[in-house]
Amino acid sequence: MGEFELIDRFFKRAARQADVGIGDDCAIWTPSPGHQLALSADMLVEGRHFLSTVNPRDLGHKALAVNLSDLAACAATPRAFLLSLSLPRVDEHWLSGFSEGLFTLADAHGCELIGGDTTQGPLNVSITVMGEVPAHQAIMRSGAQVGDDLYVSGHLGDARLALESFRNTLSLPQTVFELARSRMERPEPRTALGVSLRGVATSMADISDGLLGDLGHILKASRVGANIEISLIHHLMLTSGAWSCPQELLQRCVLAGGDDYELVFTCHPTRRQHVESLSVACGTPVTRIGRITADPRLLLLNEDGSVLPNSFSSFDHFA
Ligand code: ADP
Ligand code: MG
């Protein structure tokens, strides 16, 4: 099968929202009047971002999910994407699984594949996603205000738990492993919540490298600090109720795990009920974990107000 047959068979579909989709030198696409474009690219490399054994359907899902998560973090509505694919060989079974996982998620979020590039080489999946947001309503990292509440969406830490299990650094009960693995391999981008927080959240980012690191980007851009109440993070791990996870491990996975694709955002405290109702409407739980401070440090507080030493930056090296 040649390059063009491959594209026709696995990636070309009738253009929906695009003026011109796959097949010409450029795709042509008209943004809605009064909107700004939100653009982001993310590349997944075999061995670094995924294991060679991963199911192609899950890889198709995740490659787009991590990009949609960036759009959600800016409160942008997904519209279209480009797919650049490097493949060692034409494997029809792999391609049909991959494209199925990709298109199922794309359709669920109204995001259309409008072009890309295909070449032979080491397995590498690169997606550029395009969204739109009403002019000047994008939520950036720089808007957090002193006194704002600090929230995270969904669940944190499970993907890291699965990764450590794959690395054989810990052993999990089978049901816990399966649940954690699905969080690692099939993250759900928080599109609905991100978009609904327009005009409500003062700052937002998605959590791809771990809560403390990604929150750190917000604090730096906003020139503020934060207090996180440790007692408020203990239920964030989806699997925490299903086994007796050692507290130290739980804290490390939640605070510095990575690969979560949840949202971290800030809101004025008068918006608490509003945030709660948006969370219910979107079907995405949110947890208030602390607040923004004028003190530029990021502090972890115990229930008695004492400060927990933050040794979590070294987490990357635990093996
Ligand atoms: P060109 O050489 O003019 O850049 P290509 O021959 O690489 O174009 O691609 C032909 C068409 O197929 C283009 O419209 C391109 O956007 C599209 N395309 C190529 N690879 C992919 C892919 N992996 N997914 C979607 N569209 C693709
Ligand atoms: Mg061309």
pLDDT, tens digit, 9 for 90 and up, residues 110-148: 999 999 999 999 999 999 999 999 999 999 999 999 999
* Same domain, yes or no: 182 and 54: no
- At 244 the pLDDT is 87
Q: Measured from the CB, is residue 85 less than 6 Å from ligand 1? A: yes
164-171 mean pLDDT: 92
Kindly state whether residues 295 and 234 are assigned to the same domain. Answer: yes
Domain boundary among the residues 108, 134, 160 is at 134
Give residue 317's pLDDT. 35
- Say which residue, 35 or 243, is predicted with more confidence: 35
Query: What does the alpha-carbon distance between residue 237 and residue 253 come to, in Å, rounded to a whole number?
Result: 8
The pLDDT confidence band at residue 319, using thresholds 50, 70 and 90, is very low
Both 197 and 93 in one domain: the answer is: no
Residues 206 and 146 placed together within one structural domain of the fold: yes
Regarding the beta carbon of 22 and ligand 1, being less than 6 Å apart is answered yes
Any long-range contacts for 297-302 (C-beta under 8 Å, 24+ apart)? 297/225, 298/212, 298/215, 298/216, 298/219, 298/225, 298/226, 298/228, 299/225, 299/226, 299/227, 299/228, 300/227, 300/228, 300/230, 300/255, 301/227, 301/228, 301/229, 301/230, 302/230, 302/231
| Nearest protein Cα to ligand 1, atom 19 | 117
In this prediction, residue 24 carries a pLDDT of: 93
Best residue among 118, 124, 127, 130 to mutate for probing ligand 1's pocket (most ligand atoms within 8 Å of CB) is 118
Question: Do 171 and 281 fall into the same domain?
Answer: yes
Cβ(11) – ligand 1 distance below 6 Å: yes
Q: Is residue 29 part of a domain?
A: yes
Asked, for residue 117, whether it belongs to a domain, the answer is: yes
Do 130 and 146 lie in a common domain? no
Q: Are residues 162 and 218 in the same domain?
A: yes
- For residue 316, is it within any domain? no
24 domain residue, yes or no? yes
The CATH number that applies at residue 22 is 3.30.1330.10
Together in a domain, 194 and 243? yes
The terminus-to-terminus CA distance of the chain in angstroms comes to: 42
Count up the domains in the chain and report the number.
2
More reliable by pLDDT, 275 or 311 = 275
Q: How confident is the model at residue 14 (pLDDT cuts 50, 70, 90)?
A: confident
Smallest CA separation from ligand 1 atom 12, residue: 23
Does residue 313 surpass a pLDDT of 70?
no
State which of 134, 158, 192 marks the end of a domain: 134
Q: Is residue 317 part of a domain?
A: no
pLDDT average, residue stretch 185-195? 97
| In contact, 117 and 4? CB cutoff 8 Å | no
Residue 319 lies in a domain: no
CA atoms within 13 A on the CB side of 75: 23
Q: What is the pLDDT of residue 261?
A: 98
Tell me the residue range of the domain where 176 lies: 141-307
- Above 60 in pLDDT, residue 318? no
Strand partners, 292: 226
Q: Which of 314, 290, 307, 299 is nearest to 232 (CA)?
A: 290
CA distance 24 to 20: 8
Q: List the one residue out of 143, 160, 154 whose CA is nearest residue 224.
A: 143
Q: Residue 315: inside a domain, yes or no?
A: no
Is the same domain home to 158 and 57?
A: no
pLDDT at position 315 is 45
Instruction: Please give the share of the chain, as a percent, with pLDDT higher than 70.
Output: 98
Residue nearest to atom 16 of ligand 1 (CA): 115
- What's the pLDDT score for residue 64? 98
Shared-domain flag, residues 55 and 155: no
Q: Last residue of some domain: 134, 161, 181?
A: 134
User: In terms of pTM, does the model score above 0.85?
Assistant: yes
Scan for tokens 């519209």, then name that residue.
79
Stretch 104-110: mean pLDDT, rounded?
A: 97
> Do 60 and 194 reside in the same domain of the chain?
no
The crossing angle, in degrees rounded to 10, of helices 158-166 and 247-256 is: 110
Which residue(s) pair with 11 in the sheet? none
- We report the CATH number of the domain holding residue 218 as 3.90.650.10
Residues 155, 127 share a domain: no
| Tens digits of residue pLDDT in 149-165 | 999 999 999 999 999 99
Whether 312 is in a domain gets the answer no
User: Exposure pattern of 150-178 as b/e (b: 16+ CB <10 Å)?
Assistant: bbbbbbbbbbbbbbbbeeeeeebeeebbe
